[in-house]
């Protein structure tokens, strides 16, 4: 059996939706890194939107299940991290279609 390619693994990851946002984790830039060992063990680092996300088990399970379907995969290791403030801001902006966040005048400093 041949070692799976990164393209195959990334295609499998594209089928995993964030349970809250309901969009593929690949589209949301939640996949930080992917590596495939010569033995077929796939290591994936997924960035959660917030620390203490209540759906970590769901995300880990869904990523593992999707990657295990790829031919040649002998094991899956999922590491979870957390997005930086800049990454979260970029995600929020992309979810708003690139529109800047509306300012609330009375919520500004000095108002």
Query: What separation, in Å, do the N-terminal and C-terminal C-alpha atoms of the chain show?
Result: 66
Query: Could you say which architecture CATH assigns to the domain 6-98?
Result: 2-Layer Sandwich (3.30)
> pLDDT digit of tens for each residue in the chain (111 aa)?
689 999 999 999 999 999 999 999 999 999 999 999 999 999 999 999 888 888 999 999 999 999 999 999 999 999 999 999 999 888 888 888 755 555 555 655 665
Structural domain spans, the chain? 6-98
Instruction: Find how far residue 4's CA is from the centre of its chain.
Output: 20
CA dist 44 and 60 (Å) reads 10
DSSP letter string, 24-44: BTTTTT-EEEEEE-TTSEEEE
Q: Are 49 and 83 in contact (CB under 8 A)?
A: yes
Contact 10, 26 (CB under 8 A): yes
């Amino acid at each position: 059996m041949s070692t799976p390619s990164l393209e195959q693994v990334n295609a499998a990851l594209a089928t995993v939706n964030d349970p809250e946002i309901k969009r593929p984790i690949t589209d949301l830039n939640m996949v930080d890194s992917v590596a495939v060992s010569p033995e077929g063990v796939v290591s994936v680092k997924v960035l959660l939107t917030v620390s203490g996300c209540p759906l970590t088990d769901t995300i880990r399970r869904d990523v593992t299940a999707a990657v295990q379907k790829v031919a040649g995969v002998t094991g899956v290791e999922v590491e979870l991290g957390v997005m930086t403030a800049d990454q979260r801001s970029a995600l929020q902006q992309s979810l708003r279609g690139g529109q800047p966040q509306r300012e609330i005048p009375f919520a500004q400093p000095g108002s």
